Amino acid sequence: MSVSHCPLCPLIFQFRTEVEDHLRNDHRSRAEEEAAFGKELEGAPHDLTWLRLRALQSAASDPSVSLLLDTAPGAMMTSLDAARLHRLARKARQRLSLEVRGGDLSHLEHRLARAVAAAEGGPTDCGIAVLVSARQLAIVRLPLEPKERVVVDPTFATRDLFDALQSSPPYRVAVLDPGAPRLFEGCGHSLREITEGTGVLATEALPALRLWGIGRAVTGRAESRTPRLHRLQATVDMTDELLDMRSAATAVLPLVIVGPPRVVSLFRRRSRHGADVIGDVRHIQRRPSVHEIQRLVGPAVESLRRRFADERIAQLERAESKQELAWGIKTALPAVLAGQVEHLWVGRDYMVPARTLGGDGILQIIDDPETPGVVDDIVDDLIEIAVSKGTPTDIVDFNASDPGRACPDRAEGGVAVQIRPAAAGPSMTPSTTAA
């Protein structure tokens, strides 16, 4: 069998394409490396989407560094948050020095320092994740506050990214400016204007949308009785056309409407999209800014977020009332690996450092996550495996308690699985065994 030699070093490869990849990545000049890294940094702070999350979950480059930090929202990171981020970066470098040597260590430290500097100079939300490996880099603003931590594992720590997307369902805003309606789409605290034919938002695979039972209402149109009513009806008609096009191009989303009181009332009575409305804001100001719209629709969006969270807890309660749950990470991981799980629930703050023994999910729980060879959070791996297998997965607060409802308090388990009926057996009976 023929082999291919690298013209610049003694390495030998089986395929020519491997040589070309080796030359591009291992023999670039310093200028080429800086130019490529500059482009990588430019793309690092892009908004979090399900597609981007899947790419980060599938990235494996040992070691991979994840810095997670709660931050104060603003146009630029505060000096206090920047100091905390640098402290996390120093801790990450200390851990890397125990696992990596020579040029590989210098390369990772350089990438980490540049990523931290980029995050420090950019806008912030309620939290931030800085993810760095030898081949991947991402800076992600989070609408939820993550637990402050440093993770150095073979893969990135992505549970907070998954939680942020799942807990912040996408929504649409229609601003009913008379004669010139506008559409916006958002997720969490992020909102952007949608112009015709541009800015398509990928929503084809949003797990959260399975909880949203959207109906459609088609109402008759009465003849306008006055020129003013005719103008108001024209605004409703134009908005309906924009929503028709947008919904056909992406998906039907929960809708918040903003506008003068008479237009809002008319939209609710006569729009084809009236059944999609989750809230309205009676606002007279013409052409409000994006930031003003974010402020106005905040209560409706928060109500939507609570609705999704309540439904996830309700699903858990229904499974528990039927005695269909098995609790504990030591039960959950083998079942997920075997494809036996109907549904997985994970406690929001439940983290377990461990090492796996073999490929069947047997775990050895370790107290110190910084022990060599130990995965900082095996629960993060559990979530990624479940998502990759298409298993419905929800991150919930097991200790939550809403008025009028007794939520299950099962923090001792931290993880619950609903086993497929055909797979249920003596070893998968519900239990409260802690991990």
Q: What is the pLDDT of residue 331?
A: 87
Instruction: Give the 3-state DSSP-derived string for the chain, with helices as H, strands as E and coil as C.
Output: CCCEECCCCCCEECCHHHHHHHHHHHCCCHHHHHHHHHHHHHHCCCCCCHHHHHHHHHCEEEEEEEEEEECCCECCCCHHHHHHHHHHHHHHHHHHHHHCCHHHHHHHHHHHHHHHHHHHCCCECCEEEEEECCCCEEEEEECCCCCCEEEEEEECCCHHHHHHHHHCCEEEEEECCCCCCEEEEEECCEEEEECCCCCCCCCCCCHHHHHCCCCCCCCCCCCCCCHHHHHHHHHHHHHHHHHHHHHHHCCCCCEEEEECHHHHHHHHHHCCCHHHEEEEEECCCCCCCHHHHHHHHHHHHHHHHHHHHHHHHHHHHHHHHCCCEEECHHHHHHHHHCCCEEEEEEECCCCCCEEEECCCCEEEECCCCCCCCCECCHHHHHHHHHHHCCCCEEEECCCCCCCCCCCCCCCCCCEEEEECHHHCCHHHCCCCCCC
Residue 51 confidence (pLDDT): 84
The pLDDT value given to residue 409: 43
Q: Is residue 412 part of a domain?
A: yes
In a domain, 278, yes or no: yes
CATH, residue 258: 3.30.420.60
Question: In terms of Cα–Cα distance, which of 108, 117, 56 is closest to 85?
Answer: 117
Do the domain assignments include residue 315? Answer: no
363: domain CATH number is 3.30.1330.30
pLDDT at 407: 43
Task: Tell me, yes or no, whether 55 and 184 share the same domain.
Answer: no
Do 204 and 257 reside in the same domain of the chain? yes
151 and 62 in a single domain? The answer is yes
| Model pLDDT, residue 177 | 87
Is residue 63 reached through a cis peptide bond, with omega within 30 degrees of 0 on the bond before it? yes
Whether 340 is covered by a domain: the verdict is yes
Distance in Å from the first CA to the final CA of the chain: 51
Is residue 286 assigned to a domain?
yes
Verify that 378 and 419 share a domain, yes or no: yes
- Same domain, residue pair 347 and 241: no
Q: Please report, for the domain that includes residue 89, its CATH number.
A: 3.30.960.10
Q: Are residues 301 and 395 in the same domain?
A: no
* pLDDT score recorded for residue 211: 41
- Residue 240 and residue 340 in contact, taking contact as beta carbons nearer than 8 Å: no
Q: In terms of domains, do 30 and 158 share one?
A: no
Q: Among 163, 191, 211, which residue terminates a domain?
A: 163
Contacts of 401 (CB under 8 A, 6+ apart): 407
Give CA–CA dist 341/351, Å, rounded: 20
Q: Given 265, 280, 305, which residue is the final one in a domain? A: 305
Which of 276, 305, 334 is the C-terminal boundary of a domain?
305
Residues 76 and 184 in one domain: no
Domain co-membership, 198 together with 270: yes
Q: What is the pLDDT of residue 43?
A: 54
- Does residue 312 sit within a domain? no
Indicate whether 51 belongs to any domain: yes
What pTM, to 2 d.p., does this model score? 0.70
Q: Would residue 104 count as lying in a domain? A: yes
Closest C-alpha to 149, from 131, 124, 125, 167: 131
Whether 196 and 95 map to the same domain: the answer is no
Name residues of the chain where pLDDT drops below 50: 30, 32, 197-224, 401-409, 411, 426-435
| pLDDT for 172 | 93
pLDDT at 42: 58
CB distance 188 to 169 below 8 Å: no
Domain that holds residue 179: 168-305
User: How far apart are the C-alpha atoms of 246 and 251, rounded to whole Å?
Assistant: 7
Q: Are residues 270 and 190 in the same domain?
A: yes
Number of domains in the chain: 4
In this structure, the answer to whether residues 199 and 290 fall within a common structural domain is yes
